[in-house]
Amino acid sequence: MNIIIKSILSTACLNIALIANSAIIYLNTQTIEVVGDDGTTLMKGAISSGNKNHQTPRGMFRIIQKERNHKSNLYPIKKDGTRGGAEMDYMLKFTHQGNAIHQGYVVFEGDRSIPVSHGCIRLSTYDAREVFNLLEVGDRVKVIGYYDYDSDNFNTKLNKDDIVVIDDGIYDDDIGDTNGLNITFLDDEIE
């Protein structure tokens, strides 16, 4: 009797694994795609991945933690040296070092998003909520491609007025390292 039950449970677990969705993160185009088990695209969106000094790791991962309302224990680093508190809603952690897909601001150079995070994958509120609802703990995250920081360095090639940030209203005045660039929030009045 135990053997039959084990066999049924093993088959059920295998079937669950086969119907899982997965995320593909394209570092070269700064986009994310969530695909179903049949390869159908369920959503696509713009991201901001890790900056040159905090690159997002490439490879195959699995979601190891899912949390709707999450706060960073590392960022920001405040003037008094204390750490943490940045809101990272719709968080899907995929490495034990803390790399995660979450809600945050996505920075654009013209119509292309660029890497500015400390290694996480930032999404707009809408996209973060959608990805969060499509993925579960155990689902695959594939990070591929390479962002050529040297030939497409936004610190030297961009006019400071060309930077636009999609702000979801969750950040206060301390939005992190902007590399000396002027940041325009889309929900602010622009004159």
Residue 10: C-alpha distances to residues 5, 13, 17, 21, 119 (Å): 9, 5, 11, 20, 36
Query: Which residues have CB under 8 Å from 113's CB, separation 6+?
Result: 30, 31, 46, 47, 48, 106, 107
How far is Cα 29 from Cα 46, in angstroms, rounded to an integer?
9
Domain ranges of the chain: 2-185
Query: Which residues have CB under 8 Å from 80's CB, separation 6+?
Result: none
Would you give per-residue pLDDT tens digits along the chain (191 residues)? 444 444 444 444 444 445 589 999 999 999 999 999 999 999 999 999 998 888 999 999 999 999 999 888 777 677 888 877 778 899 999 999 999 999 998 998 888 888 988 899 999 999 999 999 999 999 999 999 888 776 554 443 344 444 444 434 333 333 444 444 444 444 333 33
| Tokens standing for residue 8 | 């049924």
110 phi and psi, to 5 degrees? Answer: 65, -120
**CA neighbours within 13 Å on the CB side: how many for 129?**
4
Closest among 33, 29, 64 to 152, alpha carbons compared: 29
How far is Cα 121 from Cα 88, in angstroms, rounded to an integer?
10
CB atoms within 10 A of CB 82: 9
Alpha helices of the chain — where are they, by DSSP H? 2-18, 125-134, 154-157
- Assign domain 2-185 one CATH number from 3.30.1360.30, 2.40.440.10, 3.30.870.10, 1.10.3470.10: 2.40.440.10
Q: What is the DSSP string of 31-45?
A: EEEEE-TTS-EEEEE
Which pTM was predicted?
Answer: 0.70
